[in-house]
Every structure is written in structure tokens, then in C-alpha cells.
């Protein structure tokens, strides 16, 4: 479900919107974001955009954690 669909759901069916939010609440996700400095009327603003969201891939994540611990010699 994309952001536009969630926005529409929020304004049309609050109960279903709340169900969707509860399904992802407090679950770990891997966000890919980008930031861009923009200037408008001589004011600089940092704009953030999320361009990908996926559940945390635990097998890969655990491998990286193990390697990090080994590198720290713990």
C-alpha cells in the first residue's frame, strides 16, 4: 500500500486505517531515505524523502551483527 492509498484511507475509513497502522506499528523496518538541501526565498531547508521501506531481513542482519562483534573482539 502506498502513501496516497493510506492518505485516502485515513480520510475515508478511519477504522480500516487504524488496522493498517496497527499491523506495522512497533515492527522493525529498513528505510532507505535521501535528503536534499533546497533554497527558497533565501532560506535553506533540508528535505527528506523515503524511497523504499522493507521489513528487516533478519538472516542478513544477524550475519552483519556477528561480523561486527567479531571485529570488536568481544
Percentage of the chain beyond pLDDT 90 is 91
> pTM for this structure?
0.59
Dist. CA 49–CA 34, nearest whole Å = 5
Residue 59's CATH number: 2.40.50.140
Q: Summarize pLDDT for 17-29 with one digit per residue, the tens.
A: 999 999 999 999 9
Dist. CA 43–CA 45, nearest whole Å = 7
Structural domain count, the chain = 1
Dist. CA 59–CA 71, nearest whole Å = 19
Range of the domain at 34: 3-72
CB 33 within 8 A of CB 50: yes
pLDDT at 57: 92
Which one, of 49, 25, 27, lies nearest residue 36 by Cα?
49
CB 21 within 8 A of CB 1: no
pLDDT at 74: 63
**What's the grid cell of residue 32?**
532507505
Q: What is the mean pLDDT of residues 31-54?
A: 94
Amino acid at each position: 500500500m502506498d502513501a496516497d492509498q493510506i492518505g485516502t484511507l485515513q480520510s475515508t475509513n478511519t477504522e480500516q486505517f487504524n488496522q493498517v497502522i496497527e499491523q506495522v506499528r512497533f515492527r522493525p523496518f529498513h528505510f532507505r531515505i535521501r535528503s536534499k538541501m533546497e533554497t527558497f526565498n533565501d532560506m535553506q531547508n533540508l528535505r527528506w524523502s523515503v524511497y523504499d521501506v522493507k521489513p528487516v531481513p533478519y538472516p542478513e542482519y544477524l550475519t552483519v551483527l556477528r561480523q561486527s562483534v567479531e571485529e570488536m573482539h568481544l
